Structure 1
Amino acid sequence: MPATSPEAALGQILDAVGIDAARAHEARIVGTDPILPTRFLMGTAGTAVLSAVGLAAADLWKLRGGDDQIIDMDARRGALALRTSKYLRVDGRPAEDYWDPISGFHQTNDGWVQLHCQFPHFRDGVLKVLGCAHDRDAVTAELVKWSGQALEDRMAEEALPVFRMRSHDEWHAHPQAKAVGAPPLIDIIKLGDSPPEPMPVDARPLGGIKVLDLTRVIAGPMTGRTLAEHGADVLRISGPHLPFTEPLVMDTGHGKRAAYIDLREDIGQGQLMDLVRGADVFSQSYRPGTLAGRGYGPEELAEIRPGLIYVTLSAWSHAGPWANRRGYDSLVQCATGIADENGAPEGPKHLPGQALDYITGYLGAFGAMVALSRRARDGGSYLVRLSLAQTATWLNRLGRMDGSTDPRKRADLERDDILDLLMETDTPWGRMEHLGPVLGMSLTPPTWERPAVPLGTHPPEWMDIN
């Protein structure tokens, strides 16, 4: 499959939401893959999606009366933007490795499976099904007694995120692949009518826009982080009882405030509704139907706050037999053929970065900005819908690097190779070194107005901007 150019990939993203693909030429894009050790076009994908974000932010800036500006990206910055957690350091030390020792690929009696045991209830559930101790060797010994499909089915009965590794052909034959291939890369659906809401006066594209961020892990939090880069007031809401991965909170928390709300309690439900009434964007990444079952679905919240932009990200999309199954970037890579191809013939191997998470997160921010532009011009409430599996389908269709030299043999880009793109920030955890915003915008360059903070640092209320 021939490699798609970054400009053509950007055109695909624009076309998916009804924007003229020819506008891709408004972004100045340089460089090509390979950037990282993979045949997959991570540089192209990152460059395209961040250029789309830049064009959407520039459109919002013009709606405020701002001038045209230059959007610039290159493949190196685009690739690095799909693995920002890799370069996170606190007080001179790399952020703690957050992978549970039993997570990752294991052999069964007929292939490979992947376990995802990052949260205690997943780990404990897997160990209960296998009947063994929390030890990688013990888990490996049990898994070779299973077929991959039998294990996947049994774990699904317990709502545990375990998937067998599939080839591209096996994935394309699966009913979920057929369901994922039907929707566009990103859906923007009008939920109802409401009066137009002009963009508030501010010096930044998203200044004055309030974003409720009810997301976890990487993809959803990246949507909020990206909106914060362009001036939005992003308030991340977490449950005090829910597990979390601290290095990812650090990585995805730049520019945000963070509050606890316990939705199991009446007072917490009231706090959330008060925030919704003042919000412009509501972003969530729970499985389809989870929040709707508690009265926080897109239609319900659009009734409470006409004009709301509701962003929802899931693993497997809203359609198909796996719609309600848990999933994460690495598992989607495993089940859709990406890990199989990327590691062949030696064995399964993930991409050099959680590309599906980061791409989907940036796409969520892009979709929210496009919907805000529509609201400003035409009014209305909007649903923005994305999934990791749809992103995987798009990435796969971008093609591969070709040539006599296998790009997987390239040296990886380590910290010392990207010092020009790193920045330091004082945070509650210490002095944090991290990748700065990489998107180039000549008049409104992305920046974070506040450092990442631990969950629950702030009260659950909007800032007073008067």
Structure 2
Amino acid sequence: MGRIDEGAVATAFTSERQLRIDGRALTTFAPHSGFWRTLDGWVRTHANYPHHRARLLAALGLPKDASAEQLGKVLSERNSAEVQETAYAAGALAVAVTGPAPTDHQLIEYLEPGASTRRLAPAELPAAGVRVLDLTRVIAGPVATRTLGLLGADVLRIDSPRLPESEDAHADTGFGKRSTRLDLAEPADLDVLRELAATADVVVAGYRPGALDRFGLAPEALPGTIVVQLNAWGWHGPWAGRRGFDSLVQAGCGIAELTGDGTQPGVLPAQALDHGTGYLIAAGVLRGLTERQRTGQAARLRYCLAGTAQWLLTTPAEPTAQAPFDPTPYLVETPSPYGLLRHARSPLGYQGVPGGWQHGPSRWGSDEPIWRA
């Protein structure tokens, strides 16, 4: 029998804010990320990664060492839509704050399943013996695979050595998995990735539509594998190929306007699109494993942050009071190569669920690109 502990869920949904590394708190948003007033409203920028900050500043004609104050001044002299499209053309990230509007984004999109002869041996944990290839970054995808790792899966995360990653972020989402780096521009590394994908039970990919197809990793190229695809803005329409993060989707889908105080936009009390989508993906994978065991069909599932946002905006809910919340009972300590981690425990609650992960995060990119067995 499952049970929901609202305190555990609230703590897990803010895991990046709860994490302490040898007592040090993480910086979740950089100075150039946030809401900025424009001539006709507001925009939200995301510049946590150095290359995104550099692109944003260059797109707006600012020097690479421009301060947040200089950025704010330039944005105040432009229209929101102009900033949004100028940033997009330069590969930067800025989204105009808009009101809610109906969309056709689905919470889960089901594609035609593949055929599989793979079966799992009986085990105590629901994902024991499952090989999960994790091709995701930031929060939503890594939360999904972190959850599958808790439930017994052998999770191997692959990153490119060409893309920077926050090791603090990996310290939060790297529990229960291993991490390696492969350069897909190198034929030998690409061969390794293809072999890992071909022998995986599950592939979770968090890139824009078509980004991995040219490497032979399209769902139809992996017929016996459960394939989950995740992006920010959905799989159809003019925004499908755009980069995005939770904070930007909140701005572009109407959540920022609805949670504002009348003078400026607001945010949800957690990056709920990321975390919520992550747990939905984990649940979808578990259902997919069950269906593969029963029918021999390997599921093809698609998720997007905008779909989760649309579901939140259109699902009736009773208003609740915002009571003070103490996360302390839901925090535990785990040693790691990064130092002593004080972190949120898993919110999963059912009879027999592990009390915690078998191991904390390894250092980002430090493991061998092989399955455990």
Pairwise TM-score range, normalised by the shorter structure: over 0.9
Residue type of the partner of 1:345?
Answer: G
Alignment of 1:291 onto 2:212: yes
Q: Structure 2: how far apart are the matches of 1:347 and 1:106?
A: 9
Q: Structure 2: how far apart are the matches of 1:425 and 1:365?
A: 23
| Aligned residue number for residue 60 of structure 1 | none
Q: 1:193 aligns with which of 115, 122, 131?
A: 115
Correspondence 1:160-199 to 2 at 5 A: 160-168=92-100, 172=101, 177-180=102-105, 183=106, 185-195=107-117, 197-199=118-120
Q: 2:21 aligns with which of 85, 90, 94?
A: 90
Correspondence 1:362-401 to 2 at 5 A: 362-399=279-316, 401=318
Alignment of 1:309 onto 2:226: yes
Q: Structure 1: how far apart are the matches of 2:241 and 2:204?
A: 18
Cα contact 2:197–2:217 (8 A) shared by 1: no
| Aligned residue number for residue 348 of structure 2 | 439
Q: 2:79 aligns with which of 138, 142, 147?
A: 147
Cα offsets for 1:113-148 (capped at 9, x unmatched): 011111222111111121124211111111112111
1:256, CA displacement in angstroms? 0.5
Q: 1:224 aligns with which of 145, 150, 154?
A: 145
| Aligned residue number for residue 346 of structure 1 | 263
1:400, CA displacement in angstroms? 5.2
Alignment of 1:112 onto 2:112: no
Residue type of the partner of 1:421?
Answer: Y
Residue type of the partner of 2:341?
Answer: M
Cα contact 1:214–1:284 (8 A) shared by 2: yes
SS at structure 2 position matched to 1:113: strand
Residue type of the partner of 1:194?
Answer: S
1:330, CA displacement in angstroms? 0.2
Cα contact 1:166–1:336 (8 A) shared by 2: yes
Q: Structure 2: how far apart are the matches of 1:187 and 1:368?
A: 13
Q: 2:167 aligns with which of 212, 233, 246?
A: 246
Q: Structure 2: how far apart are the matches of 1:401 and 1:138?
A: 43
| Aligned residue number for residue 74 of structure 1 | 5
Cα contact 2:291–2:298 (8 A) shared by 1: no
Alignment of 1:275 onto 2:192: no
| Aligned residue number for residue 12 of structure 1 | none
Higher helix residue share: 1
**What is the TM-score of this pair, normalised by structure 2?**
0.95
Residue type of the partner of 1:221?
Answer: P
| Aligned residue number for residue 27 of structure 1 | none
Q: Structure 1: how far apart are the matches of 2:46 and 2:172?
A: 20
1:98, CA displacement in angstroms? 4.1
SS at structure 2 position matched to 1:440: coil
Cα contact 1:190–1:381 (8 A) shared by 2: no
Gaps of 5+ in 2: none
SS at structure 2 position matched to 1:80: helix
Alignment of 1:429 onto 2:338: yes
Alignment of 1:138 onto 2:55: no
Q: Structure 2: how far apart are the matches of 1:394 and 1:312?
A: 18
Alignment of 1:212 onto 2:141: no
**What is the TM-score of this pair, normalised by structure 1?**
0.77
Cα contact 1:98–1:247 (8 A) shared by 2: no
| Aligned residue number for residue 18 of structure 1 | none
Q: Structure 2: how far apart are the matches of 1:191 and 1:161?
A: 34
Alignment of 1:330 onto 2:260: no
Q: 1:126 aligns with which of 56, 63, 87?
A: 56
1:384, CA displacement in angstroms? 1.2
Residue type of the partner of 2:185?
Answer: R
SS at structure 2 position matched to 1:441: coil
1:260, CA displacement in angstroms? 1.2
Cα contact 2:7–2:327 (8 A) shared by 1: no
Correspondence 1:44-63 to 2 at 5 A: none
1:193, CA displacement in angstroms? 2.2
| Aligned residue number for residue 67 of structure 1 | none
Change in 2 beyond 3 A, CA 1:398/1:140: same
1:401, CA displacement in angstroms? 4.8
Number of matched residues? 371
Residue type of the partner of 2:296?
Answer: G
Change in 2 beyond 3 A, CA 1:259/1:98: same
Correspondence 1:247-262 to 2 at 5 A: 247-262=168-183
Cα contact 1:98–1:245 (8 A) shared by 2: no
Q: Structure 2: how far apart are the matches of 1:190 and 1:226?
A: 25
Q: Structure 2: how far apart are the matches of 1:425 and 1:119?
A: 27
1:93, CA displacement in angstroms? 2.3
Q: 1:448 aligns with which of 357, 361, 365?
A: 357
